[in-house]
Structure 1
């Protein structure tokens, strides 16, 4: 079963533990938990639910009771044999980077994230089991306190996509007033955050998307929305400072080179994108770089404050039960998701 949360539902507000407080008493975790696994590369039907031991944290890791887990393209790519598959040491694997939940165990009593603290962040898949499970161990530096204005379901849709967008727009493109940025796939998980961050920092934002998402993207801050089904973006966008290519195919990348100003920057995000982009960019007289997201609890805290202030928002298109992770992957792989998909793992 999958369900869509009511858009008008009040957001859950959770009291924050004092930053200097000692660990609160919380219920000890069980020995075993439900988790989604896959035993090797395959289609969405490769995902199965089983009972496995609850992981034990070491060093700086925090044990989190997962309430909700975000579903990202890299999850599906890894399940299919791409993504972070080269780092998988053995199967079965629990996928899932994004999570929102409650701290169960911290590295030490006076840790800034004591037991009972609502948190969100990124698991270290495939070095550890992922977020498609009732419990996960997460590096403490990859976590931040959950924004108080968001439910766990909403918060689970934030970390990987928002950090990717933040690091693309703020740390790589250095978005600023008057800068011209073109964002491909602006209505997706990363895209809808990238549009908002670029607009927040004053850039002139163009985005490619379908006509159905045009008015929504304008509400998020896009100045120009180009319907990729009817219009070639190079006929509209010109003299662009930065292109964020969330689609890394050869056609999109080579055509993007045509719209960049001399010395402009092309950022190619998909790891499976066209390998010839660097040489093509050099020939065109522009700069180019690949990109990989870095888990960063400090940046995530900043993003959380922007979410609490209402300056940016996360859009959750649909929510699936943990047992329906395969259906979530099937939906994701249609390529028509607006914003994010989330798995409801447990009660908040």
Structure 2
């Protein structure tokens, strides 16, 4: 089968199309013929450092990157009960771990997938995986109807799902976005959009119940400032935040970090939200499988509105 492999750390130019063996499946897995792949910062950043690659994938080379897929089941393990050959499925495979998603076929645990809704394409399904799961796993059971929330970087992959999910939960949604993306974030549910180029959210907002942060650093520190007493901030960037956590605790505020994890239960929640229209992925650009390097370059620009998708 064809796969995009990475033989050594480096930039997008190190991603190469190659012929590799089709994976065999375990009893609890299905083999998926991949139709669409979603890219994330978690895909593109680790490839630059051997240390990061070793931590995430081990020292064996070449590496097949990626976790987010949508496709059709072509083989079913003996213990699988929820899927059959021909089913259209989507999910984030083996995160954290090795997903081997940049390939024509992917071996995926049954416990990481859901069947695709009839009202979405393969591209839309693939988009609604890691980023959507991150937003859901942060927000679910942590915000209530009427809460004032702040979603940082609302036009990004995680952000644009977080706005929609928070709105579906009945929250009043503030978000940061560039002026050119203000109309977009409002169209998907943001009640208030703050232009981070010309405005300082920490000088505008106060008494926020919950912050979802994807930026870290000074943005996270300033996010704590706008929380009400007893408020909570969750960040997707959990490195070196002990000082921020300690400072927040002194003010009776909470800062926590989270790492998204594969979950069929959560994928089925997202499936239901896709079906009823409470979330809709925004596909920013689509690339052919052979153009994976160009797709990585696009994600690295940090200016995507929604998701970058690769199709097979």
1:282 aligns with: 249
Could you say what secondary structure the match of 2:123 adopts?
helix
Q: Distance in 2 between matches of 1:111 and 1:162?
A: 25
Q: Distance in 2 between matches of 1:224 and 1:321?
A: 36
Which of 60, 74, 77 in structure 1 is aligned with 2:28? 60
- Which runs of no fewer than 5 residues in structure 1 stay unpaired? 1-32
Could you say what secondary structure the match of 2:34 adopts?
strand
Pairwise mapping of residues 116-265 of structure 1 onto structure 2 (< 5 A)? 116-124=86-94, 127-171=97-141, 174-249=142-217, 251-265=218-232
Q: For this pair of structures, how many residues does the alignment match?
A: 310
Q: TM-score, normalised by structure 1?
A: 0.85
Give the superposed CA RMSD. Answer: 1.7
Change (3 A) 1:260 1:110: closer
Counterpart check, 1:95 vs 2:65: yes
Shift of 1:175: 2.1
Change (3 A) 1:42 1:94: same
Q: TM-score, normalised by structure 2?
A: 0.95
Q: Distance in 2 between matches of 1:41 and 1:275?
A: 30
Q: Distance in 2 between matches of 1:271 and 1:47?
A: 28
- Which runs of no fewer than 5 residues in structure 2 stay unpaired? none
Change (3 A) 1:276 1:49: farther
Shift of 1:243: 1.0
Structure having the higher helix fraction is: 2
Change (3 A) 1:165 1:257: same
1:330 aligns with: 297
Pairwise mapping of residues 300-311 of structure 1 onto structure 2 (< 5 A)? 300-311=267-278
Q: Distance in 2 between matches of 1:184 and 1:135?
A: 35
Shift of 1:131: 1.2
Moved more, 198-207 or 55-64: 55-64
